[in-house]
Structure 1
Amino acid sequence: MLVSSALLWLGAAAGSLAASWIVPGTVWKDTSGNTIDAHGGMVYLRGTTYYWIGQSASNAETPYMYKSTDLLNWTPLGAQASIQYMWRPKIAKPNGSFWIYGQVNRLVQPLVSTQMEGGYATKGAAVNVPPNSLTYSDTGMFQDPGDGAWYLLTSADHNTIQVNLIGSDGTLGARKNYITSGAYEAPGMFKVGTTYFIIVSAKTGWRSNPNKMFWADGISGSFNGPYDIAPEAENTYNSQNTFELTITGSQATTYIYMGDSWDSTGGPSSTYIWLPMAVSTSAHTVTLQYHAMWKVDTTTGVVSVPSSKKRYEAEDAVITGRAAVTECNDCISKRSVHQIDSGSQVTFNNITGTGEPQWISLHYTVSNVTAGEAHIFVNDQLVPTNISDMNSRAGCHKTVPVELVLKADDSNTIKFGAVGSEDFEIHFDGIEIFEDA
């Protein structure tokens, strides 16, 4: 997650713990220790505080809000309105009030409050999308940094991505632009220099796909595209676009892709994929920069990744079963343990812990992500059933961070194994422990 407040295992006490990294795919926790439940949303900066609003899947899709000053530690603010089944809520401030716009029964439903936190009530009836009275799905929001104007983005009927101006009275106004070159949804817009970029998803239900980018020279200019923002095989790192956040720092400007990894119901395995983007206005490219763990300094705008504290190679561990050490050109030591199946195990002894939650990366690949799972025992306790319960990127990427609590000495044992079909196997490179900050 942002950095999950922590998956606490081995009898460690649950509670409020500071987050130190954004970890795409892990279970993100708020400062109260509960799973963050704000899907299809956005982040809005007011003063030095960031507000994250999204639909709460565990509360009948009611708009829920969290706040943070560092994009890491999120304080829950709870439900913002009594309305239910509002999908992809977004925040705007077109006048002196605060507005939430979301999709209810495929119509735009505005909510309004005199304060940022709470008190939102419906403002008039839900409306169709101008100019053709279209229904829609997948709300997006954009404020032009040039003139401050607010725009609602929708995936309207007839495969039309629309950009509509929000009036100073909060009503949905004229259409300023649209895209009709494909079946797209989940629009999000951001601006770099004089170039406007829109990121969209294909319509594949809740299953992820290669999200695309379009660009234009003006808010009403012709959109060019589509263009890839990540390798097609990654399916946008198993996520769908919800919002693009710009961090304007003293040393750098960082553009952040915010996506949902949805499990069809918004259940516990629905996580968040946030990644910095490399943007070129001259080449008209947007590229997601994948980091298994990262963070951005909200003051300077500088992105950083963690430093390795210690690495344990799989070939130096105790190996049982069919698994065997073989050459590996892509591995740091040029060797790894291959053919780990349900009858094999790799055991690391004398692992040094801190007694506090710490991030550990498991470096491995699987033969088929749908045919099996990796799991670990820490000091002979199963943590938890499968690695994918802690990180939805498990098996999909070579580096899989998980947060564990190890004993504060060098007597810890981590056993790595597999469960799956007869032909399922894992190739395991090793584990890595990171510095805390």
Structure 2
Amino acid sequence: MLGLKLRLSAGLLLLSAAAAQAKYIVPGARWRATDGSLVNAHAGSVLFDNGTFWWFGEYKTQGQAEGGGVSVYSSPDLATWTPHGLALEPVQGDPYISPKNIIQRPKVVKSESTGRYHMWWHADNSSYGLLLQGFATADTIAGPYTFENATAPLGNWSQDFGLFTDYKDGRSYALYSNGDSVRGRDVYITSYDKQVAALDEVVHRFDKYDLEAPTIIQTDKSYYALMSHKTGYRPNNVVCFRADSLSGPWSQPWIVAPLNTRTFNSQSGFTLRINGRGKTTYLYLGDQWDSNSIWESRYIWLPMIIDDNKKTLEVEWHDVYDLDVKTADWRPVKGKEYYAKDATVSGSAFKQEANFASGGTIVTGIEGNDSTVTFNGIKGTGKPQWVSFYYQNTDDMGFGDQPGGSPDRIGGSWQLRRISSVVVNGNTENVESLFQRDTHKGIILSTPLQLTLAKGSSNTITVGGLYNGFHYKGADLDKIIVYPPED
């Protein structure tokens, strides 16, 4: 897959020339940097500069709730990421960027008038009592960035933050919700000055929709604004508005992914426009938050299908896809399906009628190592391969008196995942953990693992249950898909 020289300003990619080889994009996987560490850049943004993509995001550590700073990674192809440490480091005792402060949703843009790089983010304290926008600058894109100030935008509050640059005139805009109180609950589009160093004026206000995590994607004819509902770290149905102009009028919102998938268990945050040779591709860059361990939350990067004639935008799921950033072409990678209805069950695991499942059957009762499901006759290559596990997690039905009960009942809460054990060819010395986040009743979603299968067609994959803090149950299984190696 060849790369290309791009100019990207906060959600915009304009292609020109250069070359790079990329790997598959696998939404929801454990993405690893070139040094083997987990990519740690949550709720971030991507900027293209001098032939390289730069990804900025919230840096989270295990057990951390507040600001760990802003991490930065570089890539030639949107798939292979090299870490460059912290672009913005917390400062002990600072009133705005200490480790106890909130440093959320960082966005970076190059100021064409100064030649410097400007970073903006939601700056707050741990109780969300400041509601400010932070500002830092650097001479080089990777930083380090120097904190300049934290201000109230035109005297207003600011919570979830986004940044958009119009590719037609180069003007940049801040996107932000103004809090959760009854006096807030709006989302603003506000223009920056020429230096992208201060705000000018409010261009549009989305009045009382009570949304957050705003991002805008631009086509040749339209602007599309994506936002999520306010459910904390629980995923929800992301919505979209359309307009001919940033100042509006904007359309009524609609849901961008299949209903009750909760946007494939993700939250909006950023979008990319990729102009290739004769084709334009749009990417949704969402976060799959894990409230049990925020530091290892995953990333959901998916193609968006936009039809300006019908005035529609949809986020389209693919387990594995290949993106050529030179041509803007992308293709789903095809894999081999193995169905739970044909698998072997043990213990209390059993096959149950499910008219929404493959072949009308799903396997449930997967619990611990005594009640498992085994997929047989799997073809492998001897190399690492992505395997997607299609499942239903009915935790939204509740567990009686146990924590993590249904959000659909009075006093209910939310258990965001079950954890399954995955064993290849009976090798219990090498057990993989499969996180299976909540789905809705009758909704099948998938989650990936990279496994090494022996060459040939006699492999087995056995799925059991691991302890998640409440029980040892794995999610109900529909099927698995085994994908070919990336090389």
For normalisation by structure 1, the TM-score amounts to 0.84
2:83 paired with 1:76: yes
Q: Is the 8 A contact 1:159 1:184 kept in 2?
A: yes
Aligned to 1:113: 138
Equivalent position of 1:103 in the other structure: 122
Aligned partner of 1:11 in structure 2 is: none
* SS of residue matched to 1:233: coil
Asked whether 1:217 is paired with 2:244, we answer: yes
Q: Which residue number in structure 1 is paired with residue 404 of structure 2?
A: none
- Is the 2:393–2:438 contact (alpha carbons within 8 Å) kept by the matching residues of 1? no
Partner of 2:213: 186
Which residue of 2 is the match for residue 128 of structure 1?
Answer: 152
Name the CA shift for 1:407/1:190 in 2 (closer, same or farther; >3 Å). same
Taking the TM superposition and a 5 Å limit, the aligned residue runs for 1:331-346 are 334=359, 336=361, 338-342=363-367, 343-346=370-373
Amino acid at match of 2:123: V
Could you tell me which amino acid in structure 1 is paired with residue 24 of structure 2?
A: W
Query: After superposition, where does 1:21-420 map in structure 2 within 5 Å?
Result: 21-58=24-61, 60-83=67-90, 84=97, 85-94=102-111, 95=113, 96-105=115-124, 106-123=131-148, 125-130=149-154, 133-157=155-179, 158-169=184-195, 170-264=197-291, 267-308=294-335, 310-323=336-349, 334=359, 336=361, 338-342=363-367, 343-349=370-376, 351-368=378-395, 373-379=419-425, 380-381=427-428, 384=431, 386-388=433-435, 392=437, 397-408=444-455, 412-418=459-465
Q: Distance in 1 between matches of 2:78 and 2:349?
A: 41
Q: Deviations over 1:152-186 (max 9, x none)?
A: 11112412211121212322222222211311111
- C-alpha displacement at 1:314, in angstroms? 4.0
Using the alignment, how far apart are the partners of 2:135 and 2:189 within structure 1? 16
Q: State the alpha-carbon separation in 1 of the partners of residues 437 and 296 from structure 2.
A: 7
Task: Give the gaps of 5 or more residues in structure 1.
Answer: 1-17
One-letter amino acid of the counterpart of residue 176, structure 2: T
Find the aligned partners of 2:84 and 2:46 in 1 and give their Cα distance.
14
Displacement after TM superposition at 1:62 (Å): 0.6
Find the residue that maps to 2:260 and give its secondary structure.
Answer: helix
Distance in 2 (CA, whole Å) between partners of 1:214 and 1:273 is: 21
Question: RMSD value over aligned CA atoms?
Answer: 3.0
Question: Structure 1 residues 299 and 423, CA, compared in 2 at 3 Å: closer, same or farther?
Answer: closer
8 Å CA contact 2:156–2:178 kept in 1: the answer is: yes
Unaligned runs of 5+ in 2: 1-20, 91-96, 125-130, 400-417
Q: Could you report, residue by residue, the CA deviation over 1:199-254 in whole angstroms, capped at 9, with x for unpaired residues?
A: 11122222222111112211222222222112331222211111111111114211
Q: Distance in 2 between matches of 1:108 and 1:368?
A: 37
SS at match of 2:282: strand
Aligned length: 413
Q: Does the C-alpha gap of structure 1 residues 87 and 367 become closer, same or farther in structure 2, counting only changes over 3 Å?
A: closer
CA distance in 1, matches of 2:373, 2:22: 30
Do the aligned partners of 2:464 and 2:474 also contact (CA within 8 Å) in 1? no
Shift of 1:323: 4.7
Distance in 2, matches of 1:377 and 1:172, equals 54
Shift of residue 430, structure 1, vs aligned partner = 3.9
Identity of counterpart residues, as a percentage? 30
